[in-house]
């Protein structure tokens, strides 16, 4: 595999290698020309020529490398050639600074390590081989014999020893990088598919909401039409009867009962339309409201009904309950519809219990409980009790309870209901204070 794809394709990496080479050569020149550091037998004029030539070659390498096609065999061989040239430069300095015992001997390891990291184990061994070859050839004049062959081998063998683990690590790193790149590409592809799927789901969700809204509107329109049709037909029939009675000259007392019927039906239809308008109104007018006063005001509206149905009222409010900041009108409508539902469920008497206190386990929240002792609501009806015009036993609910829940939710609260046959029904309101 070609390591250039992961490492030397990057301009910063090429600049780093060039910088290491230039600083190393500059440091070597200072070393061999400064008598306080090392006494070299090389001609300084020749050394300056050599330095300029090496710098020129290294800069040329950098420029040529940038022009070569990336991640190709040609690029790999060129990089290998530059590392072999490094070994020649190091051998030149070792020759001029003591031969086999030169302090520049450690430079071979730097080049081998770089080549192993960039080109892998195979080319690292090639670099190590040429390093050993040039090390021996350049310093041959210092003498090679039985007396120092072991020392020379001792110095050459580490070239291959350092090349092996570094090259293995480099190959494994490349393998992992390739696997990571594949996984990253797969992740990108799956992410694109996921985005497309989410987009499709979002469109389907919008369509579903649209269909649900249309269905809800059609159901509501059908229910409203059904609820208005019967009283309107009755009013039409009553109007016909009244017309006949008037033409016959009937007594006013006889006509009065028909007038009362028309007034009651008109009132019911007016309440129905007002509730529908209220459900469409999402505007909130906040003010500080006393719960005690509000509950008493609502109960006063049902004073006659409570008396007629022989209902006992028990009000239990927490002491020092502060006013809450809410929409007085919407909360009043909710309480009115809930209490109206409870009263209608206790036609033959019962007990209406109303409690208000700070909600337990919920910070800055108010809990209002309204409980009746009516016959209760069957479970199959209870699950849809907040749907418009659901029937609660023998009492037609209309949109009173849906409006109550709708208003409470607009105020940022929740409305819950529990009911047990033969015991009664409990409504619980949770509101922010």
Domain 286-432 has CATH 3.30.565.10: yes
DSSP string, 141-201: GG--STTTHHHHHHHHHHHHHHHHHHHHHHHHHHHHHHHHHHHHHHHHHHHHHHHHHHHHH
For 299-309, what is each residue's pLDDT tens digit? Answer: 898 888 888 88
Residue 362 DSSP symbol: S
Instruction: Say yes or no to pLDDT of 371 above 90.
Output: yes
Q: Which two three-digit tokens encode residue 37?
A: 């550091």
Give the residue with greater pLDDT, 324 vs 383. 324
Give the residue with greater pLDDT, 162 vs 45. 162
- Alpha carbons 168 and 214: distance in angstroms, whole number: 67
119 CB-side CA count, 13 A:
26
Q: Where are the domains of the chain?
A: 3-190, 222-280, 286-432
Predicted local distance difference test score (pLDDT) of residue 251: 67
Which of 156, 62, 79 lies closest to 117 in space, CA to CA?
A: 79
Q: Which two three-digit tokens encode residue 350?
A: 């019962």
Provide the H-helix boundaries in 34-72.
44-67
Q: What is the mean pLDDT of residues 342-353?
A: 89
Q: In Å, how far from its chain's centre is CA 232?
A: 54
Q: Which band of pLDDT confidence, cut at 50, 70 and 90, is reported for residue 368? A: very high
Q: In Å, how far from its chain's centre is CA 204?
A: 20
Output the average pLDDT for the chain.
78
- Using CB atoms within 10 Å of the CB of residue 398, give its burial: 0 to 12 exposed, 13 to 18 middle, 19+ buried: buried
Q: Which band of pLDDT confidence, cut at 50, 70 and 90, is reported for residue 393? A: very low
Determine what percent of the chain is predicted with pLDDT higher than 70: 76
Mapped onto helix, strand or coil, the DSSP state of residue 123 is helix
Tally of CB atoms within 10 A around 28? 23
Instruction: Say yes or no to pLDDT of 181 above 70.
Output: yes
Instruction: Say yes or no to pLDDT of 14 above 60.
Output: yes
- Alpha carbons 62 and 80: distance in angstroms, whole number: 13
Q: Which two three-digit tokens encode residue 135?
A: 């090390």
The model's pTM is: 0.47
Q: What is the mean pLDDT of residues 286-291?
A: 88
Q: What is the mean pLDDT of residues 292-316?
A: 89
Q: What is the mean pLDDT of residues 400-417?
A: 85
For 240-285, what is each residue's pLDDT tens digit? Answer: 777 677 777 666 666 677 777 777 777 667 666 666 666 556 677 8
Tokens 């949109």 label which residue? Answer: 399
Predicted local distance difference test score (pLDDT) of residue 389: 58
Instruction: Say yes or no to pLDDT of 39 above 50.
Output: no
Which of 312, 316, 294, 374 lies closest to 341 in space, CA to CA?
A: 374
Determine what percent of the chain is predicted with pLDDT higher than 90: 5
Q: Which band of pLDDT confidence, cut at 50, 70 and 90, is reported for residue 120? A: confident
- Using CB atoms within 10 Å of the CB of residue 108, give its burial: 0 to 12 exposed, 13 to 18 middle, 19+ buried: buried
Predicted local distance difference test score (pLDDT) of residue 391: 47
Those residues whose C-beta lies under 8 Å from the C-beta of residue 259, and which sit 6 or more positions away, are 242
Predicted local distance difference test score (pLDDT) of residue 392: 45
Which of 285, 262, 281 lies closest to 273 in space, CA to CA?
A: 281
Question: What is the dihedral sign for C-alpha 136, 139, 141, 142?
Answer: negative
Most confident of 106-120, 165-179, 313-327, 389-403: 313-327
Q: Where are the beta strands (DSSP E) in 306-349?
A: 311-317, 324-327
- Dihedral through CA 277, CA 279, CA 284, CA 290, nearest 10? 100
- Alpha carbons 146 and 200: distance in angstroms, whole number: 81
For 50-86, what is each residue's pLDDT tens digit? Answer: 777 888 888 888 888 777 776 678 888 888 888 888 8
Predicted local distance difference test score (pLDDT) of residue 217: 61
- Alpha carbons 335 and 303: distance in angstroms, whole number: 15
Q: What is the mean pLDDT of residues 404-409?
A: 84
């Amino acid at each position: 595999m070609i390591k250039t794809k992961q490492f030397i394709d990057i301009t910063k990496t090429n600049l780093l290698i060039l910088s290491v080479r230039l600083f190393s050569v500059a440091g070597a020149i200072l070393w061999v020309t400064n008598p306080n550091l090392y006494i070299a037998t090389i001609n300084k004029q020749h050394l300056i020529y050599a330095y300029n030539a090496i710098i020129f070659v290294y800069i040329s390498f950098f420029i040529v490398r940038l022009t070569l096609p990336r991640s190709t065999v040609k690029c790999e061989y060129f990089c290998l050639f530059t590392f072999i040239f490094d070994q020649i430069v190091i051998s030149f300095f070792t020759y001029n600074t003591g031969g086999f015992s030169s302090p520049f001997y450690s430079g071979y390891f730097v080049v081998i390590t770089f080549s192993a990291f960039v080109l892998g184990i195979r080319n690292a061994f090639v670099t190590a081989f040429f390093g050993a070859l040039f090390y021996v050839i350049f310093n041959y004049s210092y003498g090679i014999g039985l007396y120092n062959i072991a020392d020379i081998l001792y110095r050459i063998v580490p070239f291959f020893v350092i090349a092996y683990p570094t090259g293995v690590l480099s190959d494994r790193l490349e393998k992992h990088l390739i696997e990571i790149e594949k996984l990253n590409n797969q992740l990108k592809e799956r992410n694109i598919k996921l985005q497309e799927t989410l987009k499709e789901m979002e469109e389907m969700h919008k369509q579903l909401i649209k269909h649900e809204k249309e269905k809800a509107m059609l159901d509501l329109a059908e229910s409203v039409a059904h609820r208005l049709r019967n009283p309107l037909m009755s009013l039409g029939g009553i109007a016909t009867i009244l017309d006949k009675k008037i033409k016959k000259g009937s007594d006013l007392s006889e006509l009065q009962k028909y007038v009362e019927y028309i007034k009651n039906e008109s009132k019911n239809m007016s309440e129905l339309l007002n509730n529908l308008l209220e459900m469409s109104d999402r505007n909130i007018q906040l003010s500080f409201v006393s719960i005690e006063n509000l509950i008493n005001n609502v109960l006063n509206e049902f004073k006659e009904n409570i008396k007629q149905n022989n209902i006992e009222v028990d009000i239990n409010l927490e002491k020092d309950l502060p006013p809450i900041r809410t929409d007085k009108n919407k909360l009043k409508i909710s309480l009115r519809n809930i209490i109206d539902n409870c009263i209608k469920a206790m036609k033959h008497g019962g007990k209406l219990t109303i409690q208000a206190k700070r909600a337990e386990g919920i910070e800055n929240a108010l809990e209002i409980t309204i409980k009746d002792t009516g016959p209760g609501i069957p479970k199959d009806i209870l699950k849809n009790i907040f749907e418009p015009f659901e029937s609660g036993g023998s009492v037609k609910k209309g949109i009173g309870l849906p409006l109550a829940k709708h208003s409470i939710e607009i105020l940022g609260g929740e409305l819950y209901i529990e009911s047990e046959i033969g015991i009664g029904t409990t409504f619980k309101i949770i509101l922010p204070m």
